[in-house]
Structure 1
Amino acid sequence: MITIVDYDAGNPRSIINMLQYLGHRAELTGDPDKVAKAERLILPGVGKFDWGMQRLHDNGLSAPLDEAVKRGVPVLGICLGAQLLTRGSEEGALPGFGWVPATTVAFDRSRLDARLKVPHIGWADTGWNAGHRMAVETTEARYYYVHSFHIACDDPKTELCSTVHGYRFTAGVEQDNVFGVQFHPEKSLSFGMAVLSRYAAL
């Protein structure tokens, strides 16, 4: 069973629909007890960093998530959920979970030409770094992005995948049993299906 954490941050139903289409059992829950006992966890989300962390704290989900990570449960963060895996964000003041040695930073607008906008919205070719458990083996990978901030890793070895919007940046991270992707696999058609299938097979 794959458990999707419900903290009113976005539309996780599309993630469940894709997982079920792929033949996986999935449930959406905001129950801390179910999160603490989950076999696999997906932390979705759209919105601001502090708002997301505060929602998790207020709903009693932070501690169960932390316990699950310590138990070795595979956790996948998506979009805002991926950013919450880091120590914190330039967008806010609250600390993140810190499971991944990285910070979340704003796009450096000084490195973007006039044609490139923030937020970064749309499809982008994305390259996977070989040697990671979550790396998708493919010669073509395009995913759908909607974001104004991105992850900056302390150690390049933590970078799972990357893409370019004016400059190259980290699009995914992997640290032990914790994984995160900045793009939306549930909006990325067959490319996204391959990502969720890879995660479900861990």
Structure 2
Amino acid sequence: MIAVIDYGAGNIFSVKNALDYLGYENKLTNRKEDLERADSIILPGVGAFPWAMNMLSLSGLIGTIREQSQVKPFLGICLGMQLLFEESYEFGECGGLGLIPGYVDRINEPDLVIPHMGWNRLAYNHSCPLFKGLTDDEYVYFVHSYKAFCDDKNLYAYCEYGGRVPAIVSDGKYIFGAQFHPEKSGKTGLKLLDNFVRFTEEVR
């Protein structure tokens, strides 16, 4: 079973619908026991970083997320990816989950439209279980004004938007983050989600 964390941060139903379409058992939940029993966990999110961290704190799930992400596949999506990092500078400095080294800050490109919104091409930086079956000409859907700043070893894929924008990050073990919305990225996004679940089955 895939646990999709429901902490009031949006886009959970589109993620669930994508998993339902792929035929995988999943559950929207804010219960610690469900995260502990799940085979893998997805952390969606849209909105502001400090607000989302406050909602996670109120849910009482931060400790459980940190523990479970070390022993089973964990995928953060959009804001959920940004929350994986140590801190963000959105509306001031705010601590994150600290699962991947790095920070989040505004895309500072005065000649570009912000937010970065629409389809952009993935460029791969390291091999990753999520990329199985994908080509070098895959496009995915982004909607964000802030981006991650991290070490090259944690940057698994990126897109170009006034420079490299991290698109897929990972700790190299169980933790993955997607800045774009797989559930809104057509066949490519569905393939990424399918690969995440297949990776879950491989390591279970």
| TM-score of the two chains, using structure 1 as the length reference | 0.92
Paired with 1:138 and 1:130, the residues of 2 have a C-alpha distance of: 14
**Counterparts in 2 of 1:93 and 1:36: CA distance versus 1, 3 Å:** farther
Please, which runs of 5 or more residues in structure 2 have no aligned partner? 200-204
Paired with 2:107 and 2:188, the residues of 1 have a C-alpha distance of: 25
Q: 2:126–2:155: 8 Å Cα contact kept in structure 1?
A: no
Paired with 1:98 and 1:123, the residues of 2 have a C-alpha distance of: 29
Matched, 1:127 2:123: yes
| Residue 108 (structure 1) aligns with | 108
| Residue 202 (structure 2) aligns with | none
| Residue 118 (structure 1) aligns with | 114
Matched, 1:139 2:121: no
Paired with 1:201 and 1:129, the residues of 2 have a C-alpha distance of: 21
Q: 1:173 aligns with which of 161, 169, 184?
A: 169
Q: 1:124–1:143: 8 Å Cα contact kept in structure 2?
A: yes
Paired with 2:190 and 2:27, the residues of 1 have a C-alpha distance of: 17
Task: Report which stretch shifted further, 72-81 or 29-38.
Answer: 29-38
**What is the letter of the counterpart of residue 129 of structure 1?**
N
| Residue 49 (structure 2) aligns with | 49
Q: Percent identity?
A: 38
Task: Report which stretch shifted further, 187-196 or 26-35.
Answer: 26-35
Superposed, 1:1-202 pairs within 5 Å as 1-70=1-70, 72-91=71-90, 92-109=92-109, 112-113=110-111, 116-136=112-132, 137-153=134-150, 155-175=151-171, 176-202=173-199
RMSD: 1.3
Q: 2:4–2:44: 8 Å Cα contact kept in structure 1?
A: yes
Q: 2:44–2:76: 8 Å Cα contact kept in structure 1?
A: yes
Please, which runs of 5 or more residues in structure 1 have no aligned partner? none
Paired with 1:88 and 1:95, the residues of 2 have a C-alpha distance of: 4
Q: 2:139–2:185: 8 Å Cα contact kept in structure 1?
A: yes
Q: 1:45–1:81: 8 Å Cα contact kept in structure 2?
A: yes
| TM-score of the two chains, using structure 2 as the length reference | 0.91
Paired with 1:25 and 1:128, the residues of 2 have a C-alpha distance of: 29
Task: Provide the aligned length of Structure 1 versus Structure 2.
Answer: 196
**What is the letter of the counterpart of residue 33 of structure 1?**
E
